[in-house]
Amino acid sequence: MRERLQKLMATAGLASRREAERWIAEGRVTVNGQPATLGDAADLASDRVEVDGRPLAPAEGKFYLLLNKPIGYVTTARDPQGRPVVTDLVKEIPARLFPVGRLDLTTEGLLLLTNDGELANRLAHPRHEVEKTYLARVRGILTPEARQSLERGLTLEDGPTAPARIESVRASGSHTWFEITIHEGRNRQVRRMCEAVGLPVSRLKRIRFAFLELGDLRPGRFRLLNRAEVAALKRL
């Protein structure tokens, strides 16, 4: 498929579209050996696009993984404190992968990783309102009032939250388990929402991201998304 060069470069995770446009203007990009100009398009299946003399990977070089992130792994590619990072778990994939959004150190569950930088940025952006469902265990009882606050939306120190969906509530001794679905992605959002209604989270696991389910994938294991799943993600 023919696409603008800046789009191809952004999809390859090389640069933002704006940065890519600058590189084109600076003459660092060629198509089939000819210097490219702004507005040029190419098809990576048939054209050879080079940036600083290095070929741009064809679209087949894209990887889309669904990982079950274990507790204790940092959602980043490198940690200055030397803690285990999620990319340690996908070393056999021959590409530099980025996590889509992030999970806290003590949160486990579904995390997407890809080297499709543009899709990663798009999916993680709050504007796209991708639904994420978490299985939470909280200390205390989810009273009807607490549930209503979560479902209506409440105010945190960084502003009001959108309404959340609460499902599958199950009391277990002094704890309550429930599923909570949000479509924002603020820092520690589920933990802070639950704390705001007096329910500290003692366990948090993401079990769904849009239409993708964690299923019975074991912690630390990943699977590649199939073509239909990737196409559906791009349509979100």
Binding part of the chain for ligand URA, among 64-72, 86-94, 116-124, 188-196 by CB under 6 A, reads 188-196
Residue whose token pair is 């064809």: 58
If one asks whether residue 191 binds ligand URA (CB under 6 A), the answer comes out as yes
- Of residues 63 through 122, those in contact with ligand URA by CB under 6 A are 103-104, 107
* Options 8, 49, 204, 214; binder of ligand URA; rule CB under 6 A: 204
Using CB under 6 A, count the residues that bind ligand URA: 8
**Among residues 51, 1, 43, 42, which one has the least CA distance to residue 22?**
51
By C-beta, is 27 or 200 nearer to ligand URA? 200
Residues 6+ apart with CB under 8 A from 207: 109, 110, 133, 134, 135, 179, 213, 214
Q: Tokens representing 182?
A: 């949000």
Cα torsion angle, 197, 203, 204, 207, sign: negative
Binding part of the chain for ligand URA, among 48-56, 112-120, 189-197, 222-230 by CB under 6 A, reads 189-197
- Nearest-angstrom CA–CA distance, 100 and 102: 6
Binding part of the chain for ligand URA, among 52-60, 62-70, 157-165, 185-193 by CB under 6 A, reads 185-193
Contact assessment for residue 39 and residue 24, using Cβ atoms and an 8 Å cutoff:
no
Give the binding site for ligand URA (CB under 6 A): 103-104, 107, 188-191, 204
